[in-house]
Structure 1
Amino acid sequence: MAKKILLVSVVVWIYTIGVFAQPHRFALSDSVFLLDGKPFQIISGEMHYPRVPREAWRQRMRMAKAMGLNTIGTYVFWNLHEPQKGKFDFTGNNDVAAFVRTAKEEGLWVVLRPSPYVCAEWEFGGYPYWLENEPGLVVRSREAAYLAEYKKYITEIGRQLAPLQVTRGGNILMVQVENEYGSYGKDKTYLAINRRMFENAGFDCLLTTCDPASAVKDGHLEGLLPGVNGIDDPDKVKEIVRANNQGKGPFLVAEWYPAWFDWWGAPHHQVPAEKYASRLDKALAAGISINMYMFHGGTTRGFMNGANCNDRDPFEPQISSYDYDAPLNEAGNATPKFMAFRNVIRKHLPKETVLPDVPPSRPVIAIPAIRLSRSETVFSRLPKAVNAAAPLSFEDLRQPYGFVLYRTTIPANESGVLKVNGLRDFGIVFIDGVRTGVMDRRIKSDSLVIGSSPSARRLDILVENLGRINYGPYLLQNKKGIIGHVSLGGKQLRQWQMFPLPFDTHGNLPQKESAALTGQPVVRAGSFSLNAVGDTYLDMRNWGKGVVWVNGHNLGRYWNAGPQQTVYVPAEWLKRGKNEVFILELLKPANSSLSALDHPVLDQLQAPQ
């Protein structure tokens, strides 16, 4: 059996090398895509390079091949590649060109989506935070300052990726211009500027747009292939594409949703495979090309989650797990949905195609109690303060993400309602170092009652940026921190100190137990030893709210509000022997024990604490 598997693998490898070793022609006919003059149906799955450890890209792509996919779709994220103005980064997990080349090595084509705006449940929809500091800049518009920065960005992306297009012997079949623009505006001149920028940056392969069915008319630019999002009825897809493409195809569902994402405090989204397998079958049978959003979601690590907010809904920051109930789960393992879709896809592949066997699930481990024996209060490691009469925003402080501690003095005998106008987004209030209350933008909580005291008191408000809005009408209202004034009993409090706490790294590990049990947030550290590595899930159900690092990797946020109650630790970031864990805990500073499970918990809500 082992010899048979090896032989099949070698045959597939030789076929792949042959397919990708020569230049190809990718073009359109009136109804289908043409690859080297022959009909080609795109069966694609979305997978984002920063949401998967670089060390695991290849394994995830092999899973894509095993499900029957021939293409990978990915956004490109401006705020990853230009985190500070004029400073570009294409290293490590940000090496998108390496991601594309790895796909080629694995026999996969790529649909590239490098629009400056991506949405993607990603911080600020992919825009770098510093755009908020550019005078007069208006994103997704013809405003001069925006177009100037956009041009610099797309030029750099072109340097990285234009050489990898199919027109130059690479595996990038198509490049998407803008992203669901019809849901935001209908300025065709702006879309034409986008197209010219892409062309000037070296993108000379097939250019496309994508929009929800109801917005294709506004988001499509004549001459580009329109992709349709969110529907899969073949007749409707063909009708919409033809109506916007001079009566012609090919027919592309640019985002097909077999599930959905989650946000803090709301139930986990799950959609059974049987609900979508027959729809996938019908679409493929009709010759529809499809990009599955998501095939594999992975994890939104660090502080890069976005948030939804519109006139009808409250502020909804998204969780760190981007499992998405996708066919390939957060850890890269096949789900029942994967197997159901594989069985459908196999029916529609060329007769000579042999699908690889589905690789076994990745090894998992559980870890017993880990003692976090070293700790410090956050207040004991404050940096130098920035002083101002009124609170300064994160943007004023040139700080992208994380936390800022705001400090001022409450005069003697002052009392009343403490109100934070413009809290963005989560605040913990302390009087003389003792926790007094919590404020939460999600539930429109921005006030609490403060009693009187005969002496002056120190007021601290620790504010967390829970993620900038990534979709909808409020993209231009995305500053963080305290963006208004703070009042007590109707009187503005003035003369503030701001302590930036970006936690872009966890900094020096605390060396001893020193945390005071006053309710102040703490940083805790500990270590654990492994004889063998595997994927694991830190169990945060008894913790409150915070961020976790393992071996220097920021794994993302946790919050007992749920539905996510575990934090995924990829095996690639663990090692035999000693491993370090570091936790920033905001609400339950007394906790000092942690364990890890061999499975995720993504579907448990808890009452606010």
Structure 2
Amino acid sequence: MFQYDFEGRYDLVRFIKTIQKAGLYAHLCIGYVCAEWNFGGFPVWLKYVPGISFRTDNEPLKRAMQGFIEKIVGLMKSEYLFESQGGPIILSQIENEYRVQSKLFGAAGYNYMSWAANMAVKMDTGVPWVMCKEDDAPDPVINTCNGLYYDAFTPNKPYKPKSWTEAWSGWYVCLIHQRPVQDVADVAQFIQRGGSFINYYMYHGGTNFGHSARGPFITTSYDYDAPIDEYALIGQPKYGHLKELHRAIKMCERALVSADPIVTSLGSLQQTYVYTSEKGDCASFLSNYDTKSAGRVFFNNMHYNLPPWSIDILSDCRNVVLNTAKVGVQTSQLEMLPTYSDMLSWESYDEHISSLDDSLTLISNGLLEQINVTRDMSDYLWYITSVDIGSSESFLHTVLIHVPAPYI
């Protein structure tokens, strides 16, 4: 039998209310979420429900999943936290990056995706539901994108808003190096092409504690070059340059929400996107897609010089308020210094190591799947073996054990 735990750092209501107090909006991703957690947020005990199969058209899974979604949505409704109730939650998300998984399951995957979408919509939250990386998301669920570059993304229906639920501000050090802020500012291309929602992943770093960190070579530190790191320290120039980018986009707000853009070629690799309103507002984006050479363009009877792979944002269709490649913020240099041990408080414990006569000992002729055995209660699964040496054999000096890479 399970029970919900909303105490301490699991206090979701308090977290959403803190967002509201800060004047921010919330995009609530309920599940399945991945999020570099063990089992993507599924509790380990769910693995042992008879007949269960994850993320497919499976009745035991759907019963558990619907119960969880109902619990979270009910909790948010009871505290008036959806935007339709005056709260900060403007979007809710069901499932996460299911497109590849869906194709692996075939018809069962499509049925599960459709069921999850319809089940979520019936919760009647008063705010839109989204599915990221799911091209087949049924109406009224909005399909969105995740990744590094998605300016060319379009939703599966023309009346759905163009939304980017994970604009990666960086990524794991083991996979890529730091992402330059000029490259992150490429989100301006998404805006100029009609993008209406961008969520950075991550903007403020954090920490995965205990067994919540998963994946190859992933540490508990989870900010990977975010504008604000897990200690709430500002990372410059990324934080400052993005702040200026957001300010520039905000200055174009009235024109951006009034109509679709008029797109005009200014050269072989240069374009302009012009937004106007009936009240006379005008905003334009002058884009240079050439990654190596600067471009000189003529627009509105004026010349503009565009650095390689950059965008000029003109909040009044004349004056440049920002160029994405020109960073006016000084780079911050963080220096790691030693601290005093008396400022720290450490705790440790001894974990039981089994012996051959232990009641917890299992006998196996091969390697075991660790979580199946430990139920995620320990980081360790100890293997004990014995070797018999006959009286006629020479003394044993070395034992060589070969473990295939997939089991490590």
Q: TM-score range by the shorter chain?
A: 0.5 to 0.7
Structure 2 partner of 1:258: 169
SS in 2 for 1:347: helix
**SS of equivalent to 2:76:** helix
State the Cα distance separating 1:421 from its structure 2 match: 6.5
Partners in 1 of 2:220 and 2:10 — Cα distance?
18
* Equivalent position to 2:37, from 114, 119, 122: 122
Note closer, same or farther for the CA distance 1:332–1:249 as it changes in structure 2 (3 Å cut): same
**Which whole-Å CA distance do the structure 1 matches of 2:167 and 2:52 have between them?**
33
Contact in 1 for aligned 2:102/2:113 (Cα 8 Å) = no
Q: Match of 2:199, as an amino acid?
A: N
2:401 is aligned to 418
Q: In the alignment, which residue of structure 2 is the partner of 1:173?
A: 90
Q: C-alpha distance in 2, partners of 1:202/1:411?
A: 67
Q: Which residue of 1 aligns with 2:113?
A: 191
Aligned to 1:208: 130
**What corresponds to 1:405 in structure 2?**
382
Could you list the runs of 5+ residues in structure 1 that have no partner in the other structure? 1-84, 308-315, 353-359, 425-440, 442-609
Q: Give the 5 Å matches for 1:235-250.
A: 236-237=152-153, 240-241=154-155, 244-245=156-157, 247-250=158-161
TM-score, length-scaled by structure 1: 0.46
Match of 2:4 in 1: 88
- The CA deviation at 1:337 is 0.3
SS of the equivalent of 1:217 reads coil
Q: Classify 1:397/1:345 alpha carbon distance in 2 versus 1 (closer, same or farther; 3 Å).
A: closer
SS at match of 1:191: helix
Whether the 8 Å contact between 1:334 and 1:361 is mirrored in structure 2 is no
The question of whether the paired residues in 2 share the 8 Å contact of 1:297 and 1:322 is answered with yes
Deviation string for 1:68-100 (max 9, x for gaps)? Answer: xxxxxxxxxxxxxxxxx5221111111111111
Alpha-carbon distance, 1:110 to partner? 0.7
Highest RCO, 1 vs 2 (Cα 8 Å, sep ≥ 6): 1
Taking structure 2 as the reference length, the TM-score comes to 0.66
C-alpha distance 102-145 of structure 1, shift in aligned 2 (>3 A): same
User: 8 Å contact 1:230–1:256 — kept in the other structure?
Assistant: yes
Alignment of 1:295 with 2:192, yes or no, is no
1:423 deviates by: 7.2
Residue in 1 aligned with 2:15? 99
Structure 1 residues 13-162: aligned runs within 5 Å? 86-115=2-31, 117-162=32-77
Q: CA deviation at 1:381?
A: 10
Cα shift readout 1:423-449 (whole Å, capped 9, x = no counterpart): 75xxxxxxxxxxxxxxxx2xxxxxxxx
Task: Summarize the alignment of residues 473-512 of structure 1 with structure 2, pairs less than 5 Å apart.
Answer: none
Counting aligned pairs with the same residue, the percent is: 25
- Cα distance change on mapping 1:362 and 1:101 into 2, 3 Å: farther
1:177 & 1:285 partners in 2: Cα distance? 28
Task: Tell me whether 1:367 sits opposite 2:339 in the alignment.
Answer: yes
Q: CA deviation at 1:365?
A: 7.3
Counterpart of 2:300 in structure 1 is none
* SS of residue matched to 2:243: helix
Q: Which of 338, 361, 369 does residue 239 from structure 2 map onto?
A: 338
Q: How does 1:533-572 map to 2 (within 5 A)?
A: none
Shift of 1:419: 4.0
Query: In 2, distance between residues paired with 1:324 and 1:134?
Result: 36
Q: What letter is aligned with 2:68?
A: Y
Pair 320,168 (structure 1): closer, same or farther in 2 beyond 3 Å: same
- Once residues 127 and 92 of structure 1 are traced to their aligned partners in structure 2, the CA distance between those partners, rounded to angstroms, is 20
Separation of aligned partners in 2, 1:253 and 1:217: 13
User: 1:509-548 maps to which residues of 2 (within 5 A)?
Assistant: none
> Per the alignment, do residues 387 and 252 of structure 1 end up closer, same or farther by CA in structure 2, a change over 3 Å counting?
same
| Residue type of the alignment partner of 2:115 | I
Question: How far apart in 2 are the matches of 1:119 and 1:177?
Answer: 12
1:82-132 alpha-carbon deviations (Å, 9 max, x no partner): xxx5221111111111111110111111111112x2122222222222233
Q: Which structure features the higher share of strand residues?
A: 1
Aligned mates of 1:161, 1:110 — CA distance in 2:
12
- Residue 62 of structure 2 aligns to a residue whose secondary structure is helix
Structure 2 residue aligned with 1:357: none
Report the number of matched residues.
Answer: 311
The alpha carbon displacement at 1:295 in A equals: 0.7
Q: Distance in 1 between matches of 2:146 and 2:374?
A: 39
- After superposition, what is the alpha-carbon deviation per residue over 1:261-301, rounded to whole angstroms, capped at 9, x for unaligned? 24xxx377311112222x13333344422111111221222
Alignment RMSD: 3.7
